[in-house]
Structure 1
Amino acid sequence: MQHTVRHFFLVMIGAALYACSPVSPRALQKTFRQTEAALQEHVGFVLYDPLKKEKLVDYNGSTYFTPASNTKIFTFFTSLKLLGDSIPALKYTVRGDSLIFWGTGDPSFLYPWVYTDGTVYTYLKGAPQQLYFAADNFPTAFYGPGWAWDDYNDYYASERSALPIYGNLAAFTTAGSTAQVVPPFFRTSILPGIIQKKPAVIRDLDRNQFVYHPGVQASTKTFTIPYKTSPILTAQLLGDTLKRVVTLLEKPVARLGAQTLKGIPTDSLYRVMMQDSDNFIAEQLLLACAGVLSDTLQPEIAIDYMKKHDLRDLADVPVWKDGSGLSRYNLFTPRSIVQLWEKIYHTVPRERLFPLLAIGGSKGTIRNYFKGDAPYIYGKTGTLSNNHCLSGFLVAKSGRLLIFSFMHNNYTASTAIIRQHMQETLKKIHENY
């Protein structure tokens, strides 16, 4: 407790001094050094003027940091380059009285957190042929490298799959001693648990067995838990949802001549990924990008392609391992992230781009921060334990558009303290540049 209070007062004193200080590059760098010393952390910051092609501030800009969900900026750019206006929803081929189909990684099928137009459901439900699901295009592990295995019961750690259903999540609504679940396929997988102070639903690590522990006080609550995926479960869930027989094909099937069924607008997915930091969408989009480049849903295919092509001129080679940033193996530098934002800015018109991003004081993960008369921060946050980052665009009061990357790693203070320091810094830049 004393340690936390000491951190708090150190930052408060620093913020008070900083509020009266100039915002020259030298003054900013001094502030960063003081913050690093006070909080025993590492800070990286780059501020760049894309119109003048001028780097205004560079503090540890060439140092590698754990980006957390700033990784989604790389996934966003990759998707913009490869996916087009609509997500590939399904690959299929008709052979006689059989409709054989493959997943494309599309995360939207019955996913309640994004807009969906029912394309896949309507197509499969109404197909006159017998339905056969082929899963031979998905050799990828359900978790990415460097993910924390003990996140398996948390909504933000859905497993990756070729044809996800309901976001690979089961939603349990509990009331007293009873629990209902969507999809209802799992209703027979709920086991009673002991009464606890607070209600909880806990899945078994390796199987879809969910134990419901009622709370001492009866109340209605919803728990969103990842379910354990498998090709056979996908076929079973599809069958249960469509009220049709769906057969899993155990052997590889030739995909020559397979057609693509187009799904929802990709911007519908980008908005949720970038504003709400949806890990599941990010991972699935990277799989979908791999499916555009090849016949295999493997994220490394998309990552390697981008590193050799659109990202080959980054100042520092990205150590890029997944789509979401859940992996602690990811390492990017602030100056490379700034370069990436500049590429995105030249790829997407501003009037389309900014509404897709988290917006200070208005939308997404920074809706409660950076409040002003008008929004002036547009970007992407990234948070893992002891790491917090924010990168994107800053609109100064002068009307000047700047690109920044602000990265904090290996702190033991509260993330709230880190955010406050970031707010003070970016607000000063907004007011004076």
Structure 2
Amino acid sequence: MKRTISIIIVLAILSSCGSAKSVIFKDFNYQLSSSFYKNQFTGVLVIDAASKDTVYNLNSHKYFIPASNTKIFTLFTALKTLPQRIPALKYIKLNDTLYFEGTGDPSFLHPYLKDSTAINFLKKHNNIVYSLGNFEDEKYGPGWAWDDYQWYYSPEKSDLPIHGNVVMTIGSNEIEISPAYFKDSVLQLISNRNRNEFSNTFFYNALSKDTVETPFITSNLTTKSILENLLNKKVSLTNKTPLAIKQTLYGMPSDSLYKRMMHESDNFIAEQLLLVAGSVFKDTLNSKKIRDYILKNELYDLEQEPRWVDGSGLSRYNLFTPKNMVSVLDRLFTMMPKEKLFKIFPAGGLNGTLKNKFIDENEPYIYAKSGSLSNNYCLSGYLVTKSGKTLIFSFMFNHFRESNSEVRNRLEQMLQKLRDTY
């Protein structure tokens, strides 16, 4: 009798899931076959996180420009390679001299993270030498737009970033500039640019009360000068680090960086995290080497090999499939408790880039990373249905001419159907 009841229950569950999938299949097919999607490229994959059953699939094997969905791969890389606290510096102490090198740590006096671990450590030593040579990357990623040099979302990459590699100008009765090293480099005048393209000369409207973040041009000499200004002591440079075992100074919890990267879609943190991972992996700051390692080892079994060229998704050279995204999201789902994972992702209607989107009147049902470039919008992550099930999904829309808001509104209807039906 008990066995009969169990069989009936299982059959009822299977019937319910089959019915729900049928409803979703018909609804999605109807929506995605409308004229709205006719002249664009659309890819969708939705799976059940527990059973791994496919709920809906459309062009999930095809490549799309992912925009900031790329950060999902960067998050996976960081979780696989970095310790619980971010490596802030590597150093060697010989007699009365401290030799140190950057790890790419983006939190060093970052305007929002404000980690002071490294600077406080350096203040304790009188003779300090900044070791160069471990940065084997480019300041910009492949395919980044050259004219983004003046905008907050496109700072240069470097081995020892300071203050997020941006100059923050805060309008008030007396304009505040940080780092203070650039105080004399900010000209108070009206200009259609925030900075000279080829020099660290910045422009700010004296009548403005806005806070403006402008990337500065990085170099070893600039870093040295900023450090000397902060420490009020001389900093020497060397290309020859002594032959000795390097020690590591650890800074703030790594989770804090992951959360800001995903919630605010912070491009700078994403790029620097790959460099930090490279520092841990091979003592070399090179994002390509760590990306290649992850693809060949941790993600060797992806059905379609991605074209992965940066950490942030700023580049249109990136190519990923919805299956790529769902596969990595599925691995993340098994790597850590759901509650902890969901806190790293923006929650619909609650925080981050989804604070005003995909709102539920009771509680968040979407935990996902959005990605947008002109004419492209993607959303990949997790959905909690009203029945308590978790779905893993990736929606990728490329080359549309309609507004992003209309694409999101139509996507929200499909997400609500998943929430209410499955």
**8 Å Cα contact 1:391/1:404 also seen in 2:** yes
Identity of paired residues, percent?
43
**8 Å Cα contact 1:36/1:42 also seen in 2:** no
SS at match of 1:309: helix
Superposed counterparts of 1:68-87, under 5 Å:
68-87=67-86
Cα deviation digits, residues 362-388 of structure 1 (max 9, x gap): 011111111111110001111111111
**Matching residue of 1:270:** 258
Cα deviation digits, residues 211-252 of structure 1 (max 9, x gap): 3344xxx34222110011011111111111122211122x23
SS at match of 2:33: helix
Q: Distance in 1 between matches of 2:52 and 2:37?
A: 32
Q: Deviation at 1:179?
A: 4.1
- Structure 2 residue 180 is matched with structure 1 residue 151: no
Superposed counterparts of 1:222-371, under 5 Å:
222-249=211-238, 251-254=239-242, 256-371=244-359
Deviating beyond 6 angstroms after TM superposition, the runs of 4 or more aligned structure 1 residues are: none
Q: Distance in 1 between matches of 2:243 and 2:344?
A: 34
Q: Distance in 2 between matches of 1:59 and 1:114?
A: 40
- Structure 2 residue 408 is matched with structure 1 residue 408: no
**1:335–1:35 CA distance, 2 compared to 1 (3 A):** farther
**Matching residue of 2:107:** 108
**8 Å Cα contact 2:106/2:273 also seen in 1:** yes
Q: Distance in 2 between matches of 1:166 and 1:192?
A: 21
Residue type at the aligned position of 1:304: D
**8 Å Cα contact 2:108/2:114 also seen in 1:** no
**Matching residue of 1:424:** 413
**1:191–1:299 CA distance, 2 compared to 1 (3 A):** same
**Matching residue of 1:190:** 186
**Matching residue of 2:28:** 28
Q: Distance in 2 between matches of 1:400 and 1:413?
A: 33
**Matching residue of 2:197:** 205
SS at match of 1:220: coil
Residue type at the aligned position of 1:423: E
Q: Distance in 2 between matches of 1:181 and 1:141?
A: 27
**Matching residue of 1:392:** 381
- Structure 2 residue 165 is matched with structure 1 residue 168: yes
CA RMSD of aligned residues (A): 1.6
Q: Deviation at 1:36?
A: 5.1
**8 Å Cα contact 2:24/2:421 also seen in 1:** no
**1:329–1:169 CA distance, 2 compared to 1 (3 A):** same
**8 Å Cα contact 2:40/2:399 also seen in 1:** yes
**Matching residue of 1:141:** 138
**Matching residue of 1:119:** 117
SS at match of 2:109: coil
**8 Å Cα contact 1:115/1:268 also seen in 2:** no
TM-score by length of 1: 0.89
Q: Deviation at 1:423?
A: 0.7
The count of aligned residue pairs is 400
SS at match of 2:313: coil
Structure 2, unpaired ranges of 5+: 1-21
Structure 1, unpaired ranges of 5+: 1-21
